[in-house]
Structure 1
Amino acid sequence: MKLLIKKNFLFRNMNMRNKLLIIFIMIGLVPVLFFSAFFFQQSKSAFEDELGKYTMEISKQVGGRLDAFVQEMERVSNIIRFNPDVQTVLYEWTEERTSPSIYAERNVRSLFENIGNFRDDFKGIFLVTDRGLLVYNGTDEVAKLNYNFSESAWYQAVKEQTSFRLNTAHPQTYVKGEEVVTFSVRLTDNREFKSKGTLLIDFTPHTILRMSENIQLGKSGHVWMMTPEGEPVVSSQQMPDWLEDEELLREIQEEPSGFFHFEYAGMQMLAGFYTSSETGWKIIGSVPFEELAYGLYRIRTFIVLLAVGALIAIVFLATALSRMITKPLKVMERRMVEVGKGNFEKRLPVMARDEIGRLSISFNRMIAMLHRMNNEVFQSQLREYQQQIHLKNTEMRALQAQINPHFLYNTLNTIACIAEVYDRDEIAEISQSLSRMLQYSITGGLTATVEEELSHLQSYMSIVNVRFPMKFDLKLRVDPGIRRMRFLKLVFQPIVENAVNHGCAGVDKGHIVVEARFDGETAIFAFMDDGIGMTQEKLLSVQERLRTKEMDSDTSTTVNHIGLRNVYHRLYRLYGEQFSMTIWSKPQQGTKIEIRIEGGVADAKGVDRG
């Protein structure tokens, strides 16, 4: 399952050309392979059937020769058994031989000689009466006249048969003992209608063997004869080893004729068999399949060459077709890459009116529309950007004016008065503090460390305390861990200045507390005074003005709250939704301003100072 998923994943991520190439090859190759295999299998099956039938016909041909031989012997036997002299021998013979019987024996022997002269494979013709008389014609061999045939099992089987019988090879023990094949038939006395003797016609085993010797069955094929019981007809003829297989032997014994395939000694074999109608013997021919199947192998070679040629043609055509289909897509892909880089000038060539051509037309329309929309968006963004630049320049100019001109004016008047009247050291202190404030305001980037912001605040309070001796008390509650954190510049001083000018106006002694700490990941900055505070209506008005983007047209309101509003909007632009400012105030109980930065502020070492 995992392998299938992996292959499916690889196919999905393959480029279109390779996908089409694989699909075209599969569509073309699979039918070719299927029909080639089907055609070869059908040809092989038909070829095997024909070869099987051919093998069976060979066996049938040998069986036909055997049957013809038996029929010939039947005719010869009929000539002998119906011969009058043979009938006389059967009827007249007694131990006291008479002239008719002796004359008849001589004529029978002459008949046997005449018949024997027609074939060179005769080993003798014997007439054996049940009383023991032996009349024969041999091949210069003397038969045993007193031989007891009844002791031979094969002879007993002959006597039990009433019809013609071709016996398997056996020793000719009644002559010299050589192996012979005997054709036999029982002889009947036509006068008394009784079986009184047996006719034996002996042949050399070669008579049977040569029936199949001139049969060509491949290079190493053979033809055998065996009895229905599975025994060889001629003992000198060795039966094949594969006949020891009981299943194969049973198939041959149960059917009159047929053919089958089997494997023997690592080779595919083909066997055909036929049953002789005259003898019941099985004629079997077997041959290695490859010796007869050279035509089939030529067909297989032709099919393989055809499949290889078809594969080459399919690959060539599939490659050309996939290239032709994917070429416009590749051009479109490269054009899309150029469009992604911002080049809207070029258009796709429309080379056809098919689906890809229509897609190219739609793509060109889309590019034109994107080009127009891109120009419109660019112009809109340019105008918006210009407005933002103008707004930021305005804000920056406002931020540069964080130090109240009235404060600078009063400070300078104070310095002048002290210098003329008192001639005191405060002049040096206030001058240095003012110098540090101005330097901090106009140098560096938008951010500084909390430590630097506190130093700027202390410089401011030094000047305030010179102007208003003993009137304001500033306390700092700052966690050591937050001092090195980076924070927006000019936040602490405007808020404290607002407390000095408005929160503590009209009080004898004003106390101002500044806290800076961490609450988990949140940085908290709090500014508290014990001044006159604000009513609920005024507090809501201040909070509402802090959140408006436009500057107030009221000059007094702008002067009183420009520092706090600037601080609010600058913090919001820098920290976004992480920033929040909360103001608490009640009349005659003072005011508290708390700034929270969710997630803390950046380490001073990791922030660019601008």
Structure 2
Amino acid sequence: MCTLSKGAVIMMSGRVGTILRSMWKRITQKLVNKLILLFTSVIILVVGSLTIISYQMIEKESVNHSIASTTNNLLLVNQNLEDYLEGMQQLALPQLRYNDIMNAIANENRDYAARMVIENYLRNMFYSRNDLEAIYLYVADRHQYYVVTRETYNITVRKGINTDLPKLPWYKEAMASTANESFQSFVESRSDMGYVAPQASFMAYHRVLRSIASRHPQAVLSFYYNTSAVDEIMRNIPLGKGDQLMLISPERVPFYVNSLPLYERMRDSGVLAQIGEGGSGQVTWSDSNSNQEYLVVYDAGQKDGWQLIKPIPYRQIYEAATTTRNWSYVIGALFLGVSIILVTLTSNAITRPLHKLSTQMKRFSTGDFEARAPVKGHDEIAYLSLHFNEMVQRTEELINERYRMKLVEKNAILKALEAEINPHFLYNALQAISTQALKREMFDMADMVDALAQTLRYSINGKDIVAACEELRHIERYIGLQKARFGARLRVEVVWEDTLMELPIPRLSVQTLVENSIKHALEKVSSDILIVISAESGATDATIAVRDNGPGISEDKLKVVLDSFDEKWEDRESEHIGLKNLNTRLKLLYGDQAGLFILTDETGTEMRMQIPRGGVSHV
């Protein structure tokens, strides 16, 4: 016989693994197969688990039921047995005619009347019961015996001699017994019967009759009971085909067994020695000859200690559980088949719309905006298909809008490039005017022109975010230009923390606030106006405030200003455009944490610009 090498085994294992992986890939390649596999696995697990659990529960219940029912039956049979044995003992005691029987036994060899007394006594006992095969009266001193039996249709009494009877075990046991009795079993052997007893005898009961005065044994009565005695004793226990039952005496002698080989195996294994002398119980025994396990239930009589033993094969106990399990498997298999069909139909109903949706998605991914998935029903797949169609339509609209925006953006860039020329031209012109003013020693005019030029240069430098110190220098030049107009009426104070000098802020943001104070406070009154520019830091943000002591903003006008912050960019108007633009820039640059806030009353107006300390995060 050839053997495979290690390399061949590894190669074969690799091929098997490749085949299994290929099969698994094919099975799980489609969603419908995955659903069928999932639900089939769940059904198998549920049915298998329920079958196993029910089988184990029925097994346990079967064992408990067998123990309980068998124990009760054995208890009843043991009561029958004790009553039957008591009847044997009462029959063997001639209580009313004891002296007459003893005299007849003593004189039977020389007195015919005595013999008639003995024969009538034996006949009366034989007629009193239907379960007797024969009755023997053995006269101990003369080794003679009388026997009454049923021969054909007649009851006959015969006489004989047997000198070997005192040598037999049952005879010696009866003589030595304090109860003057012994029981004889015919299960294992009939060689020590002593008499020619009928073959149908179930058991024999021997009773010693002693002289009341001298206690000397005068005779031995022997009763041979037929098998009807078994039926009488066992009437409370059902014995089916193959059931085993054993009746064992207190001396461990079997008096009734269904199977002698089984009894012998149990005796040789020592399991019978485990059975107690009183009460009931059960033990488990493994029969190595038949490879079977038995539940051995027993009951021992409390009065005489006779034992009834019933070995029950576990296979027989589990028969109902096994039948139930097999039927569960059959029903489970049918249920599994029906479920697979239903799962397949349901899975196809689910995956077919998904397949159509997937096909349209592939068309859409290639740039085909005519792709549309059919919408049927009101389930989640229909909802998904509907939104896919809306997504395709919206995407097409966005692409068209984006294309239009690109055209607008291109035109805007061209216009911005053209507009950029004008500020540079103005800046260069202002520098020329400043030079001419200096030549003519018009120094105030030159300073104003230089401040205007620096302001214009700062405005067009292209940076959107600047340091706070740069913004403050620009504000200083801007205030200088405004003072040339308003003179001493305009007073400005700056309260700025040193730690915030390098704070990144939007370019021209502070100027917008200062310009608003000049427009709505200084230009509205003829008195002096104080503008305070301040900045302070918080835990997570910095607050820049511009406050004036002007007349304040009316409630209606404030509402118009605040409402303009929420308008769309396309709907902006010319008034308040500076504050709206600043609020929009703050939201775009720093997110929703930043913003512009306005506080006003009759004592003045304060505009606060709140900026996160983390810097720009949305550009």
The normalised TM-score by structure 1 is 0.49
Bigger Rg, which one: 1
Higher relative contact order (CA 8 A, sep 6+): 1
The normalised TM-score by structure 2 is 0.49
